[in-house]
Amino acid sequence: MVQQYEGHQSSRSPSESSSLASPSPVHSSKSEVNGAQCEEKAEITIIQCEENISRRDEASVPLSECQPTSTAISPDTSWEDHLLEQQDHLEKEMEEAKKMISGLQALLLNGSLPEDEQESLSCLREDGACPEEQLVIIKSRLDQSMSENQALKKDLQNCKQENRNLQAIKDALQQRMAQQEGVVLQLKQELLRTNMDKDELHNQNVDLQRKLEERNQFIADYKKEMTQKDWLIQQMQGKLDETHRKLSEASYQKLSRQPLCKHRSNKCCHPVRQVNSYISHPPQTNGFLQTSGKGPIRDPAPQRTANDLQLVRDALRSLRNSFSGHDPQHHTIDSLEQGIASLMDRLHAIENQRRQDRKARGRLSGTKELNEYRDSWPPNSKMPHSQSAPVMGGGNSCTKVLYFTDRSLTPFMVNIPKRLGEVTLRDFKIAIDREGNHRYHFKALDPEFGTVKEEVFHDEDVIPGWEGKIVAWVEEDHGNN
């Protein structure tokens, strides 16, 4: 502005400069006084400016010296705070410099500081300066005001631009904050959902752990029960093997001793029996042997065999009762019982066949001897063979019985020593030897409906047959009906 003012003064017309350069003699003394006062004020202002500059330099030196200390003391302060402090300090220095420049301009233009403008105006009016000088001063002041106005407008535009920038930054930050809030809300929802899933998984884990413990306990109990059952099976198997061994030894001893005993008894007793019977016969019998009133002495071997079989059945029954209703071991026990029963029936049939063969051989030998005796008798004493010799009855026929149980999928078969049509429910119960209450169904042929299942209730009822055998179903009766 000082340069503009100097350029403005140089562009003035020579007439104005000459008029300004040649003041009137009346006011020459006053202008000299005013010039001296202006010089003194300028010197005072320059001295004040130098003092202010020296003070700022002194203030900046301690500030620069204390900055490392403050940095060392408070290492947590960021570099942004440090830059803000420096910016505030520079703004204050710029304001002070602007004030000093405006004061110098006012001093150059008016010859006084801004606070002395009113005094200078009053002095000009009182002194009665010439109009040209007043016009120059007014123009210079107008130029200064216009420059100040332009500077203020520029500052205003800068402030507006800065305000707009700050407003845009504020809007952007608010939008970013809203986005961040949405993201934070979404993260909170995901965290809540994750926590819920975690709780659910924890509950499932606890439930599975409980089920696993229950299963382990069940497996341990089952293993313990299986160990007990295995031990019981081994014990029963040992007893069964011992019984079978004893039975085999008894059968072997019986079979080995029986021919020898028979041979000796026949050899020793047969001649004596023939002589005694011939001597003791009364005359009306014509020398034929009479059967005694007492029945034949029963061989204790079949009774002993039946007792052994009953012992085996009792052992198997106790073993079967130690298992649950649907245990697969029932099939093994039933198969074992069926095999033992079949073996005993076969041994019994072989023994009966041998006994019948022995009886047949004895009867044939007795018939030959009687024929020899009959030849020596008179003709009128002879009788027909059908009346004199006893007739052998036919062998006892057996009926095969095939029955099913609800505990096993495999059927069982037993033999009952009776003809089909003579077997009763009691005979069937004795043959299968089952404890508890059961319902008995038998396969039968109905003239109206064809093949049906007939249930028999009474022990004396005859069991129906099917194609020469008996087919039955044995079901446990739990008392529901």
Q: What is the pLDDT of residues 80-119, one digit of tens each?
A: 888 888 888 898 888 888 888 877 777 777 665 555 554 5
Tens-level pLDDT at each residue, the chain (481 residues): 444 444 444 444 334 333 333 333 333 444 444 455 555 555 665 666 566 666 655 554 444 444 444 444 444 457 888 888 888 889 888 888 888 887 777 777 766 555 555 455 445 444 555 888 888 888 888 888 888 898 899 999 999 999 999 999 999 999 999 999 999 999 999 999 999 999 999 999 999 999 999 999 999 999 999 999 989 898 888 888 888 888 877 777 777 766 665 665 565 554 445 444 444 444 433 333 333 333 444 455 555 666 666 777 777 777 777 776 667 677 777 777 777 777 777 777 788 888 787 777 766 655 555 455 455 444 443 333 333 333 333 445 788 999 998 877 788 888 898 888 899 999 999 888 888 888 999 999 888 888 899 999 999 999 999 888 999 999 888 765 4
Q: What is the pLDDT of residue 313?
A: 73
CATH value of 397-481 in 2.60.40.10, 3.30.450.20, 2.40.240.130, 3.30.470.10: 2.40.240.130
Buried b (16+ CB within 10 A) or exposed e, 195-209: eeeeeeeeeeeeeee
Give the span between the Cα atoms of 352 and 227, in whole angstroms: 43
Give the span between the Cα atoms of 140 and 110, in whole angstroms: 9
Residues sharing a CB contact under 8 Å with residue 340, sequence separation 6 or more, in sequence order: 240, 244, 309, 312, 316
Give the span between the Cα atoms of 268 and 256, in whole angstroms: 19
Tell me the C-alpha to C-alpha distance, in Å, between residue 454 and each of 6, 429, 444, 451, 465.
145, 16, 6, 9, 11
Q: Whose structure tokens read 């409906």?
A: 449
Contact (CB, 8 A) for 452 and 444? yes
Q: What is the pLDDT of residues 339-367, one digit of tens each?
A: 777 777 777 778 888 878 777 776 665 55
Give the span between the Cα atoms of 430 and 242, in whole angstroms: 25
Helix axes 2-10, 79-110, angle to 10 degrees: 30
Q: Any idea what DSSP says for residue 76?
A: T
One-letter amino acid of 231:
W
Residues sharing a CB contact under 8 Å with residue 90, sequence separation 6 or more, in sequence order: none
Q: What is the pLDDT of residue 145?
A: 86
Q: What is the pLDDT of residue 188?
A: 95
**Spans of all domains in the chain:** 2-163, 397-481
CA–chain centroid gap for 185, Å, is: 33
> pTM here?
0.26
